[in-house]
């Protein structure tokens, strides 16, 4: 099988002007799919690193520091007393 591919490849280049059997679009589609897949792999790698670092720093900081940060986050995200929370609701 590999002998057939090795002998058929140069003939294919000469026959189709270097584009192979797929024509001019085949290479662009293949390259775009490869770049898209590489981007997905890199993105998942960075998400994994971020999750791992979050766990590492939580363990390093200790439970008291984590509880303090969670309490501060809850205070920041809570609605203020003078703030109108009915935005978007129909008033009868």
Is the pLDDT reported for residue 32 higher than 70? yes
Is the pLDDT reported for residue 48 higher than 70? yes
Residues with Cβ within 8 Å of residue 19, at least 6 apart in sequence: 26, 27
Is the pLDDT reported for residue 38 higher than 80? yes
Q: How far is CA 48 from the centre of its chain?
A: 10
Mean pLDDT on 4-26: 55
Q: Residue ranges of the alpha helices (H) in the chain?
A: 2-16, 24-61, 63-77
* Cβ atoms 26, 20 nearer than 8 A: yes
Query: Which sign, positive or negative, has the C-alpha torsion 53, 56, 62, 64?
Result: positive
- CA separation for the pair 71, 13 (Å, rounded): 66
Is the pLDDT reported for residue 4 higher than 60? no
pLDDT in tens, 60-89: 999 999 999 999 999 999 887 666 556 555
- Average pLDDT, whole number, for the chain? 76
């Amino acid at each position: 099988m590999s002998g057939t591919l090795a002998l058929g490849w140069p003939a294919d280049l000469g026959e189709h002007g270097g584009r192979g059997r797929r024509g001019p679009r085949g290479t662009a589609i293949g390259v775009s799919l490869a770049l898209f897949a590489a981007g997905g792999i890199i993105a998942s790698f960075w998400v994994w690193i971020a999750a791992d670092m979050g766990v590492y720093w939580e363990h390093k900081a200790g439970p008291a520091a984590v509880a303090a940060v969670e309490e501060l986050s809850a205070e920041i995200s809570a609605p203020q007393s003078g703030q109108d929370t009915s935005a978007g609701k129909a008033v009868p």
